[in-house]
Amino acid sequence: MKYSNYKVYTTVLIFAVIILSSCGKKFFYDGINDDPTQLKDPTPSLMLAPIILASGYEYGGDESRFPSTFVQQVTGAANQSYSASIYNISPDDVDNMWSFGFYSGLMNNNYDLIIKSSSLNQKYYHAVAQILMANSLQRTTDLWGDIPYTQAFKGNDSKNAAFDTQESIYNQIFTLLNSSIAEIESGDAGASVPGSEDYLYSGDMDKWKMFAHSLKARSFIHLVKVNPAYYDSVINEIPNAFAGNADNANVPFSASSVNSQNPTFQFNDQRGDITYDGYLQTLLKDAGDPRYAVYFDATDSTLLGSLYGSKNSSIPLMTFYELKFVEAEAQFQKGDKVAAAAAYNAAVKANLNYTIQNDSYAASVEKTAANITLTDIMTQKYIALFLRSESWTDWRRTGIPALTATSGNVNGDVIPRALVYPSKEIRYNSNTPKGRTLSSKLWWDK
């Protein structure tokens, strides 16, 4: 099994050669077709770091730009980004995100790590791999809905993979997370504990377990339009999930080379066809919100600030403050406004401490059981999850904030609710669902 950040497809050139029958030596040496830059039989410890980095890179890449444009946290100013801002998105536009961002790169390698760690009975690596796969599946299905999984990651045999329903994908997500939690709790007799290659938690399995519970809470809140009973499921995960910002799943970028730079910085540096004005910026400015100073550049507010726009800015896969907003929503919808207000206030403070290291502004937006609303919760969450695709998921679930479709759009004044399937899948996989448009509603959005 070869391991790389992207699946490499090679074409074999066959040529005719004349070899003297009396020659006893081989014309080609053994292993001539082997790529010396690839690891043939990598260990889980060598596989983990690239998967974590790829996960953060994608979360801060196309997966950030399309949703952030839809919910007007950013504005497409030119080229493909402008087309996205008026909802003129073709299957070709999402090919790279699907193929290289998720399937051929991130999830294919993640699948290999699950198989390899299982074969070696390295339970902690296996648990971590399952958590990362659950995270990727949740993000992918929330963009497209039905996606390949049970027949994916099998090389050429996956070219015509079936598309699993979004409902079944969510069941797989919960299975992966529950399995990982059980493995961590049972321990690893082989002591195969991740170390410095674990860029999220340096082998702290208690934090990985909290991450798994936090992802379960996030996933449950996505499904409440399908069944409101999932609000209870959210609340049940909170005691075992993140307890503070120290538990955040932040992917670091060292910026020691071009390949290790933050993806948002790279995009702005190389293309620069997105500006950072829009609904969110106006919201912060009008409120006198101090996060304005770190979200946007001090000399030009159409540029991204240093917090998320530097070469070495980290990408948060999930945070304590997101979890507390999830809890606040669930408690509010269950009618416990005391608990809802407490979780909301804790979320705002945690985000302020994360972004500006000062939570004094929290008093300006503090809420009590007597005056808290769902709009309060979701608006502050929208501010806190700047540049994260979760904001699009939240808007599709709740309609908050109340956005108006971009002027001059080509989608009938309807803000997108799903991505179209990529052109390569449409061309080469006959199982690709038909009839998908940007206005299509996913299973959990109906």
Q: Is residue 24 a part of any domain in this protein?
A: no
Query: What span, in angstroms and rounded, lies between the C-alpha atoms of 68 and 155?
Result: 33
pLDDT class for 40, splitting at 50, 70, 90? low
Burial-class residue 146 by CB neighbours within 10 Å (0-12, 13-18, 19+). buried
How many CB atoms within 10 Å of residue 366?
Answer: 15
- Please, what is the average pLDDT of the chain? 91
pLDDT class for 158, splitting at 50, 70, 90? confident
What is the pLDDT, as a whole number, of residue 39?
Answer: 54
Domain span at residue 144 reads: 44-445
Q: Which of 161, 285, 170 is nearest to 227 (CA)?
A: 170
What is the pLDDT, as a whole number, of residue 207?
Answer: 98
Burial-class residue 374 by CB neighbours within 10 Å (0-12, 13-18, 19+). middle
pLDDT class for 227, splitting at 50, 70, 90? very high
Q: pLDDT exceeding 90 applies to what percent of the chain?
A: 86
Q: Number of structural domains, the chain? A: 1
Q: How large is the average pLDDT for residues 271-297?
A: 97
Q: pLDDT tens, 98-155?
A: 999 999 999 999 999 999 999 999 999 999 999 999 999 999 999 999 999 999 999 8
Indicate whether 24 pLDDT > 60: no
pTM for this prediction:
0.91
pLDDT class for 363, splitting at 50, 70, 90? very high
Q: How large is the average pLDDT for residues 337-360?
A: 98
Indicate whether 59 pLDDT > 60: yes
Q: Is residue 33 a part of any domain in this protein?
A: no
What is the pLDDT, as a whole number, of residue 157?
Answer: 82
The CATH number covering residue 197 comes to: 1.25.40.390
What is the pLDDT, as a whole number, of residue 18?
Answer: 31
- Cβ atoms of residues 274 and 84 within 8 Å: no
Q: Is residue 10 a part of any domain in this protein?
A: no
Query: What span, in angstroms and rounded, lies between the C-alpha atoms of 393 and 16?
Result: 57
What is the pLDDT, as a whole number, of residue 27?
Answer: 35
Joined together, the tokens standing for residue 188 give 């690893």
Q: Is residue 28 a part of any domain in this protein?
A: no
| Identity of the residue numbered 293 | A
Indicate whether 245 pLDDT > 90: yes
Query: What span, in angstroms and rounded, lies between the C-alpha atoms of 411 and 438?
Result: 8
Indicate whether 36 pLDDT > 90: no
Q: pLDDT tens, 399-429?
A: 999 999 999 999 999 999 999 999 999 999 9
> Phi, psi (5° rounding) for residue 301?
-70, -5
Q: Is residue 305 a part of any domain in this protein?
A: yes
